[in-house]
A and B are shown apart, each in its own frame.
Chain A
Amino acid sequence: MSEGAPTSWEEVARTYGRKIYNFAYRLTGNPDDAADLTQEVLLRVRKGLAGYRPGSFDGWLWRITRNAFIDEVRRKKRRPTVPLPDEVDRLDAGSAPEPSEVLASVRLGDDIQQALLELPYEFRECVVLCDVVGLSYEEIAGAVAAPIGTVRSRIHRGRKMLKELLS
């Protein structure tokens, strides 16, 4: 374990559970999917914590989170509520939201959330990791397995698109 890394699953869940849930929510825009994803991530952490090797714990955790998200979206492909990375361009932004989704979006910055969902997946992921989770570019690069230059570009382009979508 690296210094400061949690030593038990419970500690990870207590320390990071809320962050993982918020990451999942902002990526999916859906409380049910966010809860499913958070549960899946915590299960994977529970299984994988014993095999964790010293290094960036945040990088390790967010890599698991990101992979769980992609797997979860693929699993739900038959009844998609979240666009797959390569399906973003076909996002049907006009589809009717679930009642629970409507309820959750009230007072939660629904216009900003909707704009986030319209970003290509790779941009949305980097913007959320940067501005919602609060990771550094280096940590994001570790989580999404991309060079820092790519992360920088995705965040920049994501913000430019957000600006257009919100204005």
Chain B
Amino acid sequence: MSHPGELLSAFLDGELSPAEHRKVMRHLAACEACTTELADLQRARAAVRSLIVLEPPPGLVPAPERPPIRRRVPVWVAAAAAAVLALFIGVSAIAGPRTALEVRLDEISTQYGARTSLDPNVTPGQVIPAIPSIGGAE
């Protein structure tokens, strides 16, 4: 390969195709002049990248949004949730032990339901082919 010339900057920026990248690599291994040029280009690039990020004058642009503040759950809400959970566990125990398959189906149903509710393109009841297989049932 002849000297890569302006491909060197693109090489530095990861903007070459894999084949071009390999060619330049092979050339660099054998060409001291191009290796020196690459180092010079890298220094020039590093110099520009070292420029500090400036803050715009106040009022010019709106400040970036702050992440939402996570509210602590009030104690009475947590207590109520615990009571409902305890009741549910009690009812489940009365209904008898569930098989591993039933538990797995519940897990999938939870996942599936969550996905459909987040994806506006999926209508309720629509069959989604990507449902994971149920362990050993196929």
Q: CB distance A38 to B51 under 8 Å?
A: no
Complex CA gap A159/B51 in Å reads: 15
Quick one: closest B residue to A152, CB to CB? B10
Q: Is B18 an interface residue (CB 8 A)?
A: no
Main secondary structure of the interface of A (DSSP, over half): helix
Q: CB distance A152 to B61 under 8 Å?
A: no
Q: CB distance A38 to B6 under 8 Å?
A: no
Q: Name the A residues within 8 Å of B31 (CB-CB).
A: none
Complex CA gap A24/B21 in Å reads: 33
Q: Is A113 an interface residue (CB 8 A)?
A: yes
Chain A, interface residues (CB within 8 Å), range:
35 or more
The interface bits of chain A over 1-39 (1 if a CB of B lies within 8 angstroms of the residue's CB, else 0) are: 000000000100111011011100110000100010011
Q: Name the A residues within 8 Å of B57 (CB-CB).
A: 31, 35
The interface bits of chain B over 42-74 (1 if a CB of A lies within 8 angstroms of the residue's CB, else 0) are: 011101111111111100111111000000000
Q: CB distance A159 to B61 under 8 Å?
A: no
Complex CA gap A128/B48 in Å reads: 8
Q: Name the B residues within 8 Å of A131 (CB-CB).
A: 45, 48-49
Q: CB distance A160 to B41 under 8 Å?
A: yes
Q: Is A130 an interface residue (CB 8 A)?
A: yes
Q: Is B13 an interface residue (CB 8 A)?
A: yes
Complex CA gap A132/B47 in Å reads: 10
Q: Name the A residues within 8 Å of B55 (CB-CB).
A: 18
Q: Is B15 an interface residue (CB 8 A)?
A: yes
Q: Assess A109 versus B52: contact at CB under 8 Å? Given A21-B60, A159-B9.
A: yes
The interface bits of chain A over 110-143 (1 if a CB of B lies within 8 angstroms of the residue's CB, else 0) are: 0011011000000000011011100011000000
Q: Assess A112 versus B47: contact at CB under 8 Å? Given A18-B55, A157-B6, A160-B41.
A: yes
Q: CB distance A108 to B51 under 8 Å?
A: yes
Q: CB distance A137 to B44 under 8 Å?
A: no
Complex CA gap A146/B18 in Å reads: 23
> Which of A20, A152, A156, A157 has most B Cβ within 10 Å?
A156
**Least Cβ–Cβ distance between B66 and chain A, in angstroms:** 11
Known: A18-B61, A108-B51. 4 other contacts (CB 8 A): A15-B64, A18-B53, A137-B15, A163-B41
Partner-A contacts on B (CB < 8 A) = 5-10, 13, 15, 40-41, 43-45, 47-57, 60-65
Partner-B contacts on A (CB < 8 A) = 10, 13-15, 17-18, 20-22, 25-26, 31, 35, 38-39, 42, 107-109, 112-113, 115-116, 127-128, 130-132, 136-137, 152-153, 155-157, 159-160, 162-163, 166
A/B interface sample: 11 pairs, CB < 8 A: A14-B62, A20-B61, A38-B56, A109-B51, A109-B52, A112-B50, A116-B48, A127-B48, A137-B15, A152-B7, A156-B6
